[in-house]
């Protein structure tokens, strides 16, 4: 399977030409494209017209499309510099422009990969937990209950919480299971 579609290659080939962008302008575009991929808000909101007032808006948009596709696909497939350079050769890139792209890409590669890893199918992630110790004295059904009671709240990434109550013994049971998981995890990481 080809990493880039023929359409993308056409779009990228347009960015190879000096006539559209100088090398300095090209650097700015590539860096900006990386920021947009990372969805860093302040960068992404700058209207393209302000950055390049003298150029054809459509051509600029096409350039961004091509470059962002390349950045995402390169990060997704964990391409090395030589593999990227081969791809850029297919787009008729000159050596200095290739170097510019590879340098900027490598600078942002880890961030992009980390950002891409957040997408996808997954159970909600726990980020924090809170606990509370109560003494249940009585309720309107039983006038004498007198038991210790823990309330645990597991906080998820999206802000939702999972709340439940448990006794001391149930808490101990839960802790021993988690410790077991941690021990196995540690053992597995030593391979």
Partner 1 sequence: MLLKLSTEHYEHLSFLNKIEPDVASEFASISLKFLHSGINRKMFKLASQKLQVEIEEVENCIIGLMQLFVEATKNKLSDVDFCDSLIVHGFTPDLASALKDLYSEHAKATGSRIGANAPKLPRYKNMEWRLDVKLASRSLHNQLEPSVQLKLAIENFAGTETKLVKADVPTLLHMISELEGALTENKSKHVQRFVRNIS
Q: How far is the C-alpha of 86 from the C-alpha of 96, rounded, in Å?
A: 14
Q: Which of 10, 51, 86, 142 binds partner 1 (CB under 8 A)?
A: 142
What DSSP line would sit under 22-42, residue for residue? -HHHHHHHHHHHHHHHTT-HH
- At residue 6, the 3 state secondary structure works out as helix
CB closer to partner 1, 57 vs 133: 133
CB closer to partner 1, 107 vs 124: 124
Q: How far is the C-alpha of 111 from the C-alpha of 117, rounded, in Å?
A: 10
Q: Site for partner 1 (CB under 8 A): how many residues?
A: 56
Binding mask 68-97 for partner 1 (x = CB under 8 A): -------xxxx-------------------
Q: Which of 42, 50, 119, 158 binds partner 1 (CB under 8 A)?
A: 119
Q: Which of 42, 53, 143, 190 binds partner 1 (CB under 8 A)?
A: 143
Binding mask 147-186 for partner 1 (x = CB under 8 A): -x-xxx-x-x-----xxxxx-x-xxx-xx-xxxxxx-xx-
Containing H/E element for 68? Answer: helix 57-76
Residue whose structure tokens are 């006539």:
19
């Amino acid at each position: 399977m080809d990493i880039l579609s023929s359409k993308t290659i056409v779009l990228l080939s347009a960015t190879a030409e000096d006539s559209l962008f100088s090398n300095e302008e090209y650097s700015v575009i590539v860096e900006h494209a990386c920021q947009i991929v990372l969805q860093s808000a302040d960068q992404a909101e700058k209207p393209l017209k302000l950055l390049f007032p003298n150029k054809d808006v459509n051509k600029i948009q096409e350039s961004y499309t091509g470059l962002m596709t390349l950045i995402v696909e390169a990060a997704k497939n964990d391409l090395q510099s030589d593999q990227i350079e081969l791809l850029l050769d297919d787009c008729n890139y000159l050596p200095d422009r290739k170097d510019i792209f590879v340098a900027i890409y490598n600078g942002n590669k880890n961030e992009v990969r980390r950002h891409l890893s957040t997408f996808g199918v997954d159970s909600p992630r726990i980020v924090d937990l809170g606990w509370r110790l109560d003494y249940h004295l009585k309720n309107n059904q039983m006038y004498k209950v007198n038991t210790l009671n823990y309330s645990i709240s597991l906080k998820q990434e999206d802000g939702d919480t999972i709340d439940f109550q448990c006794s001391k013994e149930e808490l101990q049971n839960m802790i021993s299971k988690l410790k077991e998981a941690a021990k196995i995890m540690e053992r597995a990481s030593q391979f």
